[in-house]
């Protein structure tokens, strides 16, 4: 990879001038990866993070930000490439901010994702515990079932850009004509939707930018975020609103939900509580192994779909409760000592109030599923202090070619 040095770069007003000048070219060895997928190295003990640089590489990089404790830089040239560096298939890789690892051999992606969970566990919780190797996605490309391209209003005579945030920016977008993370049918829909959006803007200009939806499901591809669609996981068919959250790598969901079910039942609990149940993914895929399962959710619409999914799949031992965050377990009719609890909170993690309610409920085991291991580790500290111990940690790679992963931590109540 190479880049041309700017002759007279315009220095941003808030640029901190030490220890490097704006767009100063530096050479360094990359030692590790950050949780954001950046290569990290040091120059005289000063940390420099370089997008798209890989561990073991010596690189030239162009500094664009000096923080209090580190600098950030763009990759200019790879002087000594990693043996795990490969050719990325996407023509806008390194421009589009959606992927961080298309240039990284897949087995190495898995190794580093596993390592990062272990490092977070130590740095944030001060606990050393084995982390099982990340479970690979059956599909490395074409796996995403949901894509949400964005568009902004064009400036002047410039064409409308429809795509994703440019890497390292918060408001600039990159045109994406074809995404290798989605299927051929979804890409065909993407082409049509882009053309339709531009044509509509020509006829009646949009007043502001927006977000589009392309979602593949059991019955085809939808672009209407309000449409009811279906997805099958194992033997269970789920209905949900196309624009709402549902795990979007169907290829790995049978293994993912099967692991959660197996770990929840291992402690011998009779009952299961799914505390962030959505439309019932973990509740219903686990129902066969428990006397009774209860899903709790703060969204009334999600509860309605979860109930519909239980009825459609003839699952009679499942019930769903519209929960209040302040009293999430008060409607549960059985004892915590006979129960296992699955939690799968949003990226921000669980509130301390919820975690204290969970500890007071006292389930035999907690299966904590997270798409953000950093907030998961923060919450883990509360659960460990509340009388739980780590039994097993298993990452799942639901998002190949990106820095993202799902991590499942299984906790058992200590006697």
Q: What is the DSSP string of 47-82?
A: EEEEET--TT-EEEEEEEEE-SSEEEEEEEEEEE--
Cβ-based neighbours of 340, under 8 Å, separated by 6 or more: 264, 265, 267, 269, 271, 272, 273, 290, 363, 364, 365, 366, 367
Q: Which member of 179, 277, 371, 407 is catalytic?
A: 371
Known binding positions: 247, 276, 297, 344
Q: Are strands 406-413 and 38-43 parallel, antiparallel or unpaired?
A: unpaired
Cβ-based neighbours of 86, under 8 Å, separated by 6 or more: 103, 104, 105
Report in angstroms the alpha-carbon separations of 183 from 141, 221, 365. 8, 10, 38
The two three-digit tokens of residue 358, written as one number: 């969970």
| CA pair distance 164, 317, nearest whole angstrom | 43
Choose among 231, 225, 143, 139: nearest CA to 184: 143
Q: What is the dihedral of CA 311, 314, 316, 322, to 10 degrees?
A: -30
Choose among 244, 239, 276, 248: nearest CA to 260: 276
Contact 405, 377 (CB under 8 A): no
Residue 294, H or E segment: strand 292-297
Known binding positions for S-adenosyl-L-methionine: 247, 276, 297, 344
Q: Is 371 a catalytic residue?
A: yes
User: Active-site residue numbers?
Assistant: 371
């Amino acid at each position: 990879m190479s880049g041309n040095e700017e002759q007279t770069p315009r220095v941003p007003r808030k640029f901190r001038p030490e220890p490097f000048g704006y767009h100063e070219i530096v050479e360094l060895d990359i030692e590790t990866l950050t949780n954001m997928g950046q290569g990290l190295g040091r120059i005289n003990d000063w940390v420099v993070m370089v997008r798209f640089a890989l561990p073991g590489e010596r690189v030239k990089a162009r500094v664009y930000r000096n923080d209090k404790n580190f600098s950030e830089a763009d990759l200019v040239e790879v002087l000594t490439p990693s043996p795990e560096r490969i050719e990325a298939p996407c023509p806008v890789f390194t421009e589009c901010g959606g992927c961080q690892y298309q240039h990284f051999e897949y087995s190495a992606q898995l190794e580093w994702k596993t390592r990062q969970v272990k490092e977070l566990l130590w740095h944030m919780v001060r606990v050393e515990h084995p982390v099982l190797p990340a479970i690979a996605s059956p599909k490395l490309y074409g796996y995403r079932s949901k894509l949400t391209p964005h568009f902004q209003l064009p400036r002047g005579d410039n064409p409308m850009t429809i795509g994703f945030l440019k890497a390292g920016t918060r408001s600039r977008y990159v045109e994406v004509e074809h995404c290798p993370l989605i299927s051929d049918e979804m890409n065909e829909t993407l082409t049509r939707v882009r053309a339709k959006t531009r044509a509509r803007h020509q006829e009646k200009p949009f007043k502001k930018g927006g977000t589009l939806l392309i979602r593949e499901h059991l019955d085809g591809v939808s672009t209407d975020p309000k449409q009811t669609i279906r997805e099958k996981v194992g033997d269970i068919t789920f209905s949900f609103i196309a624009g709402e959250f549902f795990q979007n790598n169907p290829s790995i969901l049978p293994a993912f939900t099967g692991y959660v079910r197996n770990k929840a039942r291992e402690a011998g609990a009779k009952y299961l509580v799914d505390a962030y149940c959505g439309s019932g993914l973990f509740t219903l895929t686990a129902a066969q192994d428990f006397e009774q399962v209860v899903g709790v959710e703060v969204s009334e619409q999600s509860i309605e779909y979860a109930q519909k999914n239980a009825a459609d799949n003839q699952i009679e031992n499942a019930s769903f409760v519209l929960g209040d965050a302040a009293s999430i377990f008060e409607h549960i009719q059985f004892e915590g000592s006979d129960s296992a609890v699955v939690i799968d909170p949003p990226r921000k993690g669980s509130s301390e109030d919820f975690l204290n309610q969970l500890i007071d409920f006292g389930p035999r085991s907690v299966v904590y599923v997270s798409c953000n291991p950093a907030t998961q580790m923060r919450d883990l500290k509360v659960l460990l202090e509340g009388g739980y111990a780590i039994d097993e940690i298993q990452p799942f790679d639901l998002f190949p070619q990106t820095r993202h992963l799902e991590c499942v931590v299984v906790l058992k109540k200590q006697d």
